[in-house]
A and B are shown apart, each in its own frame.
Chain A
Amino acid sequence: DIVMTQSPDSLTVSLGERATINCKSSQSVLYSSNNKNYLSWYQQKAGQPPKVLISWASTRISGVPDRFSGSGSGTDFTLTINNVQAEDVAVYYCQQHETPPYAFGPGTRLEIK
């Protein structure tokens, strides 16, 4: 099975600053036949179901603010949140969907200073 790890476990940033969350897969999630990274990012606010932010590692889902961006390829990925807002307080998860079981990372909690 592909194992997902994330760092840091939690981070605290000031309003307007940048937050960077890292995700690593135990094996590549880059599918060679279409050159797509099967990696997505989700945001889960307290008491709510998760919401997808980024697909294919770097494609922002329609309606997601452009301060959210994803990057990376193969086994190493990053979610960047620029100009962090109060409403961004949440837990962020990466997920690989290249090979079942489609594991989630353990999550990174974002708090505001």
Chain B
Amino acid sequence: EVHLVQSGPEVKKPGESLNISCQGSGYEFNKYWIGWVRQMPGRGLEWMGIIYPGDSDNRYRPSFQGRVTMSVDKSSSTAYLQWSSLQASDTAIYYCAKHALVGSIGTWFDSWGQGTPVTVSS
């Protein structure tokens, strides 16, 4: 059974850095694109970007490019989303999710992590 387990809730101050994680199990981690989705309080889903663990190929939504960095550690089947300088507007739940079809960039998300709540407040 596929599982995506995300790191726990975070409370940070503006300007601080942050790294959240998403560990996959039950499937060949290296062969499926994995993505990140933001959900701000009371709002809809925003596609942030995707990364292919096999070679770290990636695609970012332009509005997130330069604001966040996606990375993977193949040895631990873990994907990461990191910020170098948080802003209050980064307060949201962040979900990781796995693409449905092996090696295919253009598919839906078939498995989701439980979400990591991030609160940024002074």
Residues facing B in A84-102 (CB within 8 A) are: 91, 93, 95, 97-98, 100-102
A50: CB under 8 A from chain B? Answer: yes
B106 to chain A, nearest CB (A): 5
In the complex, chain B residues whose CB is within 8 Å of the CB of A83: none
B55: CB under 8 A from chain A? Answer: no
B4 to chain A, nearest CB (A): 9
Chain B contact residues: over half helix, strand or loop, or mixed? strand
B21 to chain A, nearest CB (A): 16
Contact B109–A100 (Cβ < 8 Å): no
In the complex, chain A residues whose CB is within 8 Å of the CB of B37: 50, 104
Residues facing B in A18-61 (CB within 8 A) are: 31, 38, 40, 42, 44, 49-52, 55, 61
Q: How many residues of A contact B (CB 8 A)?
A: 25
B49: CB under 8 A from chain A? Answer: yes
A1: CB under 8 A from chain B? Answer: yes
* Known A100-B50, A101-B49; contact A52-B110, beta-carbon cutoff 8 A: yes
Interface range on chain B: under 10, 10 to 19, 20 to 34, or 35 or more?
20 to 34
B40: CB under 8 A from chain A? Answer: no
9 tightest A-B CB contacts, nearest first: A40-B108, A49-B112, A101-B61, A100-B59, A104-B45, A107-B44, A102-B47, A55-B108, A97-B106
State the A residues within 8 Å of B (CB): 1, 31, 38, 40, 42, 44, 49-52, 55, 61, 91, 93, 95, 97-98, 100-107
25 pairs, CB–CB < 8 Å, chain A vs chain B: A1-B62, A31-B106, A42-B109, A44-B45, A49-B95, A49-B97, A49-B112, A49-B113, A49-B115, A50-B95, A55-B100, A55-B108, A61-B110, A93-B44, A93-B45, A95-B47, A97-B106, A97-B108, A98-B106, A100-B105, A101-B49, A101-B60, A102-B47, A103-B47, A105-B44
